[in-house]
A and B are shown apart, each in its own frame.
Chain A
Amino acid sequence: MSKEPVAVVGIGQTKHVAARRDVSIAGLVREAAVRALDDAELTWADIDAVVIGKAPDFFEGVMMPELYLADALGAVGKPMLRVHTAGSVGGSTALVAANLVAARVHSTVLTLAFEKQSESNAMWGLSLPIPFQQPLLAGAGGFFAPHVRAYMRRTGAPDTVGSLVAYKDRRNALKNPYAHLHEHDITLEKVQASPMLWDPIRYSETCPSSDGACAMVLTDRAGAARAPRPPAWMLGGAMRSEPTLFAGKDAVSPQAGKDCAADVYRQAQIADPRRDIDAVEMYVPFSWYEPMWLENLGFAEEGEGWKLTEAGVTELDGDLPVNMSGGVLSTNPIGASGMIRFAEAALQARGQAGEHQVEGARKVLGHAYGGGSQFFSMWLVGSEPPDA
């Protein structure tokens, strides 16, 4: 018994911006979905099922919005499944959709994730009221800043590394027409001079709040054979979860992240990720998460991740490009952010990433995380099918 190989044959996203006041939520998701269908040269009739994800419903104030979005996504009469795994949801949604193809339940599946954050205030949407959480935190930055501080203390990384990540990602975003932030006058000095929000995280080292959607068309081997453009093949995919808080939790490098990566590498027969993987699109909402995840994902030894960043290894023309799209630091419609990472990995493997294409990218990792560094989803995609 073997799984059906899964191919990405269509990718579409909206131009991510702070507020899409010109479209409804349905209009936003449909725009991304139509672009993915166009990319695959397919129509709504070719889609067997729709798998949709987003982060908390409170961000738009619509409970279980998949019900309302069934019409806009051509799902009437079809299966429609809604996934929600916190910040990792965009990745998890793609994996749930991929599994429908892998298990041969469906041939061609549309998967989509979105967030229209301008409908509410995400920072306060994430600041949970007493008695669920101590009232000391303001937004996700307040939760993650101490973990960054712990990383710096543990590794002795110099203060300057965070700004380098932000400066790189914001410059990469200039090459990506869909990225939210296009800071044409960005300089390292400007990043370093930006206000301190949650020490040690500065304003320019923080993700924006975006409206946006991302969609992919996933299909089986037969569907890939009909695809007009080169597909990206899924070589491995996994999800892992651990509790939010518990004695002994490593908030800097969570075990769930390590286990998730190990599972993906096992499926994709990756012996040495640093050598075998050409580029990484990872979920970095605050600059310092780049070196932290480099270690967690096995691209650097423990305590050494920041050295890769500092040496320019993760630059677009570096030896291991990270966040070619500009990353979450440049675009963050929360529920869609994981899928944008997965889609960027697929774009790279297809050679369709345009100005931010990494030359010769054959195996690319897409990564997402969520909750209190507790939910992980990842996939590795390649330009060649598995076992080829």
Chain B
Amino acid sequence: MTRDIAVVAFAQSDTLRSSEEVSEVEMLMPVLHDVLAQTGLKTADIGFTCSGSCDYLAGRAFSFTLALDGVGAWPPISESHVETDGAWALYEAWTKLLSGDADTALVYSYGKSSPGSLRDVLTRQLDPYYVAPLWPDSVALAALQAQALIDAGDTDERELAAIGARSRATDNPRAQLKGPVPQGDYVVRPLRTGDCPPIGDGAAAVVLAAGERARELCERPAWIRGIDHRIEAHSLGVRDLTDSPSARLAAERAGAFERPVDTAELHAPFSSQEVVLRKALGLDDATRVNPSGGALAANPMMAAGLARIGEAAARIHRGESDRALAHATSGPCLQQNLVAVLEGDPR
């Protein structure tokens, strides 16, 4: 069974350091209205809805249940939720379209990092018995990875600084951090402020459609030629942090290596992680990496991965790309990775 499935619309909010003036539903609703308006669809026209979010950011159980109010799930809808980045919600929705259960899907995700101290919150992702009690924070773990890369001769601090500068040179109007940004002091050596993502609140949404429905809804659909995700061991001690075998395997399964891609949207929250991903995915200078600015320009937790797929798709919609790779990550030091390959019809 094969069925052509495409991203036909993408919308996102601004990413803000604090959104305390608005609830999650209020942050989400304009994005949902935007993405549906692009296709002319209403909630009731959507065959399957899937979202991604995380209770630990909101600091309350079942935080996603009220976000459903933003969708307007009445009459009742066929719906599901993943407790991770929305890229995995997109994956779940893709399987629903693939099996023929639905012809269209709405996928959204959101995250508010502002209510808590994100570096502390993310320590709760770690092995609860042996690692979490030590509270190693997300920047410290990324710094271990960056130092391993430097020690292996894969990069140096100058190259890392250049990655940050290039990312923030984006013209993306939704970017939280753009233009010349000082590289700053060390946050955790060897990572400086400029190597770290801005902390922000934001939301993203896409619409998927299958076959002819996709062509009706979008002038140039971004066809998902392949999508796959893989996870690695949790313990950092058993991983080679300078490599990403899971990203490479996911890319292989998604067909990324069959032909070169002209664009890659990588979910690399730290500059050093772009180095890891470029190596694992075999990307050279012929591929334009993160024209959106990537996670170094805006990193709304749980939405930044979905936004990479959306950004890659939007470039195909606009005719700025013909074949793009989109990547999302979850967990410490790129533990889990998802790769999608998107293509536009020949022009």
List residues of A whose CB falls within 8 A of some B CB: 1-4, 24-25, 55-71, 75-86, 92, 96, 99-100, 102-105, 125-126, 128-129, 132, 238-244, 246, 254-256, 259-260, 263, 371-372, 374-375
Contacts and interface: CB of A to CB of B under 8 A. Distances in A.
Interface stretch (B57-65, B176-184, B194-202, B284-292): B57-65
Interface stretch (B11-19, B107-115, B118-126): B118-126
A83 B69 CA distance: 19
Interface stretch (B224-232, B258-266, B267-275, B306-314): B224-232
Interface string B91-108: 110011011110000000
B165 interface: no
Contact of A63 (B69, B76, B100, B124): B124
B166 interface: no
Given A84-B83, A241-B79, 8 more contacts: A59-B61, A63-B56, A63-B125, A67-B336, A68-B125, A239-B80, A244-B66, A259-B75
A75 B78 CA distance: 28
A42 to B, nearest CB: 20
Contacts of B132: 62
Interface of B: 1, 3, 49, 54-56, 60-62, 64-66, 68-69, 72-84, 88, 91-92, 95-96, 98-101, 121-122, 124-129, 132, 228-235, 245-246, 249, 330-332, 335-336
A68 B60 contact: no
A67 B229 CA distance: 13
Contacts of B127: 68
A256 B335 CA distance: 37
B288 to A, nearest CB: 28
Contacts of A70: 231-234, 335-336
Nearest to A125: B61
Given A25-B128, A83-B81, A243 B68 contact: yes
Contacts of A263: 78
B128 A241 contact: no
A96 B62 CA distance: 19
A100 B233 CA distance: 23
B249 A77 contact: yes
A56 B234 contact: no
Nearest to B96: A99
Contact of B65 (A76, A244, A254, A260): A244
Task: Identify the interface centre among B82, B88, B99: most chain A CB within 10 Å of its CB.
Answer: B99
A374 B65 contact: yes
Contacts of B249: 77
Contact of A83 (B73, B74, B80, B124): B80
B84 A64 contact: yes
Contacts of B230: 77-79
Contacts of B62: 56, 86, 128, 371
A238 B78 contact: yes
29 contacts: A1-B1, A57-B56, A58-B56, A63-B121, A63-B124, A67-B125, A69-B234, A70-B231, A70-B232, A75-B231, A77-B232, A80-B229, A81-B82, A82-B82, A83-B80, A84-B83, A96-B80, A99-B95, A103-B98, A104-B1, A128-B60, A239-B78, A240-B79, A241-B76, A242-B74, A244-B65, A259-B76, A263-B78, A374-B65
A68 B76 contact: no
Contacts of A69: 234
A239 B231 contact: no
A9 B156 CA distance: 52
A371 B73 CA distance: 14
A69 B335 CA distance: 12
A3 B99 contact: yes
* Closest 7 pairs (CB-CB, A-B): A56-B61, A256-B76, A103-B99, A241-B79, A84-B83, A63-B124, A103-B98
Name the prevailing secondary structure of the B interface residues.
mixed
Given A77-B245, A105-B95, A242 B100 contact: no
B61 to A, nearest CB: 4
A241 B76 CA distance: 5
Contacts of B72: 243
Contacts of A104: 1, 98
B98 A105 contact: yes
B88 A243 contact: no
A241 B230 CA distance: 29
Contact of B61 (A4, A128, A242, A256): A128
A103 B102 CA distance: 12
B315 to A, nearest CB: 26
Contact of B122 (A55, A63, A99, A256): A63
A224 B331 CA distance: 35
Contacts of A25: 128
B76 A242 contact: yes
A244 B69 contact: yes
B229 A79 contact: yes
Contacts of A128: 60-62
Contact of A64 (B76, B79, B246, B330): B330
Contacts of A59: 61
A355 to B, nearest CB: 35
Contacts of A105: 95, 98
A125 B88 CA distance: 26
Contacts of A254: 76
Contacts of A65: 128
Contacts of A238: 78
B60 A129 contact: yes
A62 B123 CA distance: 9
A254 B75 CA distance: 11
B76 A61 contact: no
Given A58-B55, A79-B230, A244-B69, A84 B98 contact: no
